[in-house]
């Protein structure tokens, strides 16, 4: 049986959704495939997210990922929105959830790290629920 495909969605696909994609690949690759996408694009992934993910986990998102539109994603089983307080376009899926995460862009490293650790916990919980 193939693994479920999980899409992490945020408006710009430059911070929270990218972190979730990276942590999904890092902590749950044996349970589900991780993707991220957005409705609009930034040119690059948030530099603070790239720096802190590399510092904390050794994951270089700047090398392994890039901002993507929703149209670039494969069909998915699970859609997780990050809490952008906007209505995302409908993506067909079997399960959806909103994680309601605060955008750490422009905030302190401590706030960024708090969001990163929250995403880590949610990824681990999601993996357990999909086993």
What does the alpha-carbon distance between residue 49 and residue 51 come to, in Å, rounded to a whole number? Answer: 6
9 — pLDDT class (breaks 50, 70, 90)? very high
Q: Partners of 36 in the beta sheet?
A: 8
Residue 87 has pLDDT above 70, yes or no: no
Specify whether domain 5-130 bears CATH 3.40.50.2300.
Answer: yes
- What local confidence, expressed as pLDDT, does residue 41 receive? 85
Length of the chain measured in residues: 131
Range list of β-strands (E), 2-81: 5-9, 33-37, 78-81
Question: Does the pTM exceed 0.85?
Answer: yes
């Amino acid at each position: 049986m193939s693994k479920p495909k999980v899409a992490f969605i945020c408006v710009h696909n430059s911070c929270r959704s990218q972190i979730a994609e990276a942590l999904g690949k890092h902590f749950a690759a044996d349970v589900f495939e991780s993707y991220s996408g957005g409705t609009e694009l930034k040119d690059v992934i948030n530099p603070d997210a790239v720096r802190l993910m590399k510092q904390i986990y050794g994951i270089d998102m700047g090398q392994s990922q890039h901002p993507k539109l929703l149209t670039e994603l494969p069909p998915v089983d699970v859609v997780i929105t990050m809490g952008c307080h906007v209505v995302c376009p409908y993506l067909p899926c079997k399960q959806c959830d909103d994680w309601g995460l605060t955008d750490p862009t422009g905030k302190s490293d401590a706030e960024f790290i708090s969001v990163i650790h929250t995403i880590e916990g949610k990824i681990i919980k999601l993996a357990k629920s999909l086993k």
